[in-house]
Amino acid sequence: MSAFFERFFDDFTKSREFADIELLNPLDMHLHLRQGAMLESVLPFSARSFALGVVMPNLNPPITTTALAVDYRDEIMRLSEDFTPFMTLYLHENLSLEELKEASVQGIRILKLYPKGATTGSENGVREVVSERILEILSLAQDLGFILSIHGESNGYCMDREFEFLEVYEFLARSFPRLKIIIEHMSDRRSLESLEKYENLYATLTLHHILLSLDDVLGGLMQPDLFCKPMIKTPSDRDALLLCALSAHPKVSFGSDSAPHLQSKKYSAHAPGGIFSAPIALSVLASVFAHYDRLENLQSFVSDNARKNYALDSVLCDRRKVVRLTPKMWEIPQSVACENDAISVLFGGRKSAFRQIEGN
- Nearer Cβ to ligand DOR, position 119 or 352? 119
Does position 257 bind Zn ion by CB under 5 A? yes
Does position 85 bind ligand DOR by CB under 6 A? no
- Whether the CB-CB separation of 235 and 214 falls below 8 Å is answered with no
- Nearer Cβ to ligand DOR, position 1 or 269? 269
300 contacts: CB under 8 Å, gap ≥ 6: 248, 250
Of 44, 50, 64, 347, nearest in space to 211 by CA: 347
- Nearer Cβ to ligand DOR, position 47 or 56? 56
Q: Does the annotation mark 160 as catalytic?
A: no
Does position 273 bind ligand DOR by CB under 6 A? yes
Amino acid at site 130: V
Nearest-approach distance from CB 222 to ligand DOR, in angstroms: 16
Of 179, 180, 239, 178, nearest in space to 204 by CA: 180
Pairing of strands 21-24, 355-357: unpaired
Pairing of strands 330-331, 322-326: unpaired
Nearest-approach distance from CB 272 to ligand DOR, in angstroms: 6
Nearest-approach distance from CB 325 to ligand DOR, in angstroms: 26
Around 37, how many Cα atoms within 13 Å sit in the side-chain half-sphere?
10
- Whether the CB-CB separation of 203 and 191 falls below 8 Å is answered with yes
Does position 162 bind Zn ion by CB under 5 A? no
From the list 69-77, 119-127, 278-286, 324-332, the region that binds ligand DOR by CB under 6 A is 119-127
Task: Show the site string, 43-62: x = touches ligand DOR by CB under 6 A, - = not.
Answer: ---------------x----
Q: Which of 91, 173, 217, 228 binds ligand DOR (CB under 6 A)?
A: 228
Asked whether the bond before 230 is cis by omega within 30 degrees of 0, the reply is: yes
Catalytic residues: 257
Binding site for ligand DOR (CB under 6 A): 32, 58, 119-121, 151, 228-229, 259, 272-274
